[in-house]
Amino acid sequence: MSTDSETCCPRFNPEPWDGKTLNWQGKRFVQDRVTSLFHIPLNYGAVMKRMDAAIRAAGAELEAPVMLADENSMWGADVFVEADKEVPGAKMATLSGTFMSKVFEGPFSQIGNWVKAMKTWLNSEGKSYSKLYFYYTTCPKCAKKYGKNYVVLLARIG
């Protein structure tokens, strides 16, 4: 997964994520918080730059890290960027458990419909979830360049 001079995010391959069950044990993330207004992030770019700088300074970056958002309030979201080791001075979190993932494509305005579709899919599989995360696979600039805006919904089940 490489980038070119006009993109900062690797091209996303949806196949390993669509309709899959993932078992994570101690998956390590740097955690921060984004301020939002009715779920619209106000400082996402600044928070991502801060997290990226800390991860790079620690030598903990991955080629294609998983970046998750927990949209737990209309006024903010916890964000998680995968790191390959502890990052000094950063809030660290680990995620463990069984997750089911589904890939969606389109404008962010469709998130409400994607959440409904995710719940329907999980019900059809006889599953329910305790937590829902959003994996925004590329920044808006790269999504525009690639012509696809993929978002993965990850549901912690069990």
Domain ranges of the chain: 20-157
What pLDDT shows up at residue 5? Answer: 60
- From 109, 156, 139, 115, select the one nearest 12 (Cα to Cα): 139
Across 62-83, average pLDDT: 94
Give the residue with greater pLDDT, 113 vs 63.
113
87: Cβ–Cβ under 8 A, 6 or more apart, which residues? Answer: 30, 54, 55, 57, 58, 60
| 88 vs 63 pLDDT, higher one | 88
**Residue 30 pLDDT more than 60?**
yes
Q: Compute the Cα dihedral for 132, 138, 141, 147 and give only its sign.
A: negative
Average pLDDT, the chain: 93
Does the pLDDT at position 1 exceed 90?
no
pLDDT of residue 2: 43
The yes-or-no verdict on residue 114 having pLDDT over 90 is yes
With contact defined as beta carbons under 8 Å apart, do 26 and 94 qualify? yes
Segment 124-133 shows an average pLDDT of 96
What's the mean pLDDT in 147-154? 97
Residues 136 and 79: their CA atoms lie apart, in Å, by 10
Looking at residues 80-92, what average pLDDT do you find?
96
Structure tokens at 38: 């009715």
CATH, domain range 20-157: 3.20.80.10
Cα distances (Å, whole numbers) of residue 66 to 27, 47, 62, 134, 135: 10, 15, 9, 10, 7
How many Å separate Cα 49 from the centre of its chain? Answer: 15
Q: Can you tell me the distance from the alpha carbon of 25 to that of 18, in angstroms, rounded to the nearest whole number?
A: 20
* The pLDDT of residue 3: 45
Q: What is the mean pLDDT of residues 89-97?
A: 97
Q: What confidence score (pLDDT) does residue 67 get?
A: 94
Q: Can you tell me the mean pLDDT for 14-38? A: 97
